[in-house]
Amino acid sequence: MNLTQTVFNISGMHCASCARSIEVNVGKLSSVSSVAVNLAGETAAISYDADSLSEKDIIKAINKLGFKASLPSENGKDSDFLKLRLEKIRLFVALFFSSSLFVISMGPMLGLLTLPSFLAEPKVLSATQLFLLLPVILCGYKFYTSGFKSLFRGSPNMDTLIAIGTISALSYSLYSTYLVYTGHEHAIHNLYYESAAMIIALVMLGKFLEKRATKKTSDSVKKLVSLTPNNARVIRDGSEVEVRIQEVKVGDVVIIRPGEKIPVDGKIISGATETDESMVTGESMPVNKAVGDEVIGGCINKSGFIKVEALRVGKDSTLAQIVKTVSEAQASKAPIARLADIVAGYFVPTVISIALISALVWFFAGKDFPFVLSIFISVLVISCPCALGLATPVAIMTGTGKAAEHGILFRNGAALEHACKADTVVFDKTGTLTKGSPEVSDIVSDIDKDELIRLAAACESGSEHLLGEAIVRYAKETGLDTLTAENFKSTVGAGISATLDGRKIYVGNKSFVKNTGRFEHEAAILSESGKTPVYVADDEKTLGIIAIADSVKDSAADCISSLKKRKIAVYMLTGDNEKTANSIAQALGIENVISNVKPNEKSEVIQRLKANGHTVCMIGDGINDAPALASADISIAVASGTDIAAETSDIILMRNDLTDVSNTIKISSAVTRNIKQNLFWAFAYNVIGIPVAAGVLYALGGPLLNPMIGAAAMSLSSITVVSNVLRLSRMKLR
């Protein structure tokens, strides 16, 4: 079985019922394992067996339902702008004619104007109103094509409600117009042309504002897609040529000048520069790059002229993987959305039933047909499956987009919802709380400290040991001159010796270097604090100690402090010895330390914490911590900008900045709270609005809801949900 997930673009969806229809019907296909439709993003994330079902088969199945499915275009560009512009033109036409119709029909009744005598004549007035309505119906034709198709398929949607309501008003008005032309001029008062027109225009206005606002929720992904330049300069047959980005191959040498975007992931083979990686990793400070360093496609080459060997291109690039991850997350559903999905499946048929029952009740109560028709239309147009359908996806889209801007990648909606529920956070030590590479931390010496480093670095220049590399790196970073060493001799597990200007120098541990008594006390103190002392000596005496330690990340202490303020228990999990582990934990303020743990035992620790009733979030590097990450309720991988393939993690922090752990929880909390608010208002709106439209207030001596007011309220409910979500984009992160 070849389980594959593909995100399809889907147009023609108008409400939660549309989304539900696709999920139910496509989900019935034998090789489909899951379907998650995102109404706001107009996408569907579908998992299926690629060996027995193709993308074309799925597209065909969706199109059969009356929608239009397609695969995302290669360059990420679509016709959204043109579609929005065309909808704007239709909206203006509909508003112009509907408002003109409203003035002509209602103006005299409200005492706002007096019609010319020829226009006030019943036959002319009724014909004029009908002709003013026709352009509005033409502009809103989608309500009818979609609404009736859905009705005939047995899965009515919001458009069905609008179509039935306005057709009912139109049909009764046409009958009244017929009466006017057959001599019953009093029937002029039973025209509902303006109601049908205003309902269509107001719903179109609401949908337009909703779509324009929703479009902002996916801007983050579109910004990421637009980062990759269209062309690149590569060296072919010894000459520099410009080619389309799709033509760049792995191994090509790409030339990038200052100020240009880096077209591919690659390794610098010539030159040095600073790169702006903020749009990909969220890191605001420029990053120094030299020969041998990797650069990320889509970032900006700030200062130097560089040549880069292409390592990852096209869909394998870091940027493409980020866009894929964020897009899949936006297309997924959060568990909290299940209630709305269940309601959506029954919503429209229930509303139609309520409209019919309400109309019949008032009819048998003795009300005339215009009153009964008004009740029927009002119930249909005030109900709002859109608000229910938008409540969750727009929040997820905005939240994941906001997170991506700061280098935080949520893999799915469930991760976004659950991250804020963790009451226990477990950190791996090496590479997560610490930098993961040893550094020189202390120098204790009887001679000049720089001289001690020169001697040690010269001996270690031929060594591949991590401690030796740390000393050599420190010498380079501090700009110390290098000495020439001869007669290298390495003793495994002990140290290295070499001759410098005829002088024998020894660099290694206590057993390798003789006469360490002078520095025993200092070495013991350093060891107690979790540091490794490296002795430097000659044939006569020990010259000094260089302490090596895996230093704590700058952001680690702030992260731990922030989690504690949220009343979250913090654990450190490490394979290091107890002494080293406690030293790091004490520096960070972590009380719960579990040391001497083998990699395969880490997941057992997570399982024990879960068994004790904790909701556990595990934070590791995403590679050697894979079993523990997989065992946790929520898993966060701290990855570099060029390594986002932490398959076992729910969330990826691309900046290696632990401050983003707090940001992750903050985003999760804000999005979950926003979704709950949206669902509350969507349910409350319908629970209150539908009975009012059915005439409950009128029965108690209150007002009767006008269908036009119902249509305006319905549009307003969707706009309110989207506007509430857009507050997330203004959220401040650390």
**Residue 533 phi/psi, 5° resolution?**
-80, 130
539 catalytic, yes or no?
Answer: no
Which tokens sit at 380? 């249909």
- Per residue, the 3-state secondary structure of 100-137, as one string, reads HHHHHHHHHHHCCCCCCHHHHCHHHHHHHHHHHHHHHH
Q: Across 290-335, where does the E strand assignment appear?
A: 294-295, 300-301, 306-312
Q: 3-state DSSP call for residue 589?
A: coil
* Identity of residue 57: D
Segments in 499-652 forming alpha helices (H): 520-528, 556-565, 578-588, 602-611, 626-631
Please, are residues 395 and 728 in contact by the beta-carbon 8 Å criterion? yes
d(CA 569, CA 611): 15
Please, are residues 587 and 561 in contact by the beta-carbon 8 Å criterion? no
Please, are residues 284 and 278 in contact by the beta-carbon 8 Å criterion? yes
Which tokens sit at 355? 């409209």
Segments in 39-184 forming alpha helices (H): 55-64, 80-110, 117-120, 122-139, 141-153, 158-181
d(CA 84, CA 211): 8
Residue 469 CB neighbour total at 10 angstroms: 16
Which tokens sit at 180? 């006017």
Q: Which among 358, 351, 400, 277 is positioned nearest to 652, based on CA atoms?
A: 400
How many H helices and E strands in the chain?
A: 26, 26
Which tokens sit at 658? 């632990």
Edge-to-edge order in the sheet of strand 68-70 = 32-38, 43-49, 3-11, 68-70
Q: Is 66 left (phi over 0), alpha (psi -120 to 50) or beta?
A: left
Q: Which among 128, 94, 110 is positioned nearest to 199, based on CA atoms?
A: 94
Chain centre to alpha carbon of residue 289: 29
Please, are residues 472 and 534 in contact by the beta-carbon 8 Å criterion? no
Tell me the CA distances in angstroms from 602 to 201, 435, 605, 632, one per residue in order.
61, 20, 5, 10
Q: Which among 311, 221, 402, 375 is positioned nearest to 642, based on CA atoms?
A: 311
Q: 3-state DSSP call for residue 275?
A: strand
Residue written as tokens 């229809």?
21
Residue written as tokens 């390794």?
267
d(CA 598, CA 603): 10
* Identity of residue 332: S
Burial class (CB in 10 A: 0-12, 13-18, 19+), 464: exposed
Q: What distance, in Å, lies between the first and last C-alpha atoms of the chain?
A: 44
d(CA 82, CA 368): 46
Residue written as tokens 């036409």?
93
Tell me the CA distances in angstroms from 109 to 114, 181, 183, one per residue in order.
9, 21, 22
Q: Which residue among 159, 341, 428, 650 is the active-site one?
A: 428
Give every CB contact of residue 286 below 8 A, 6+ residues apart in sequence.
Answer: 274, 275, 276, 302
Return the active site residues: 428
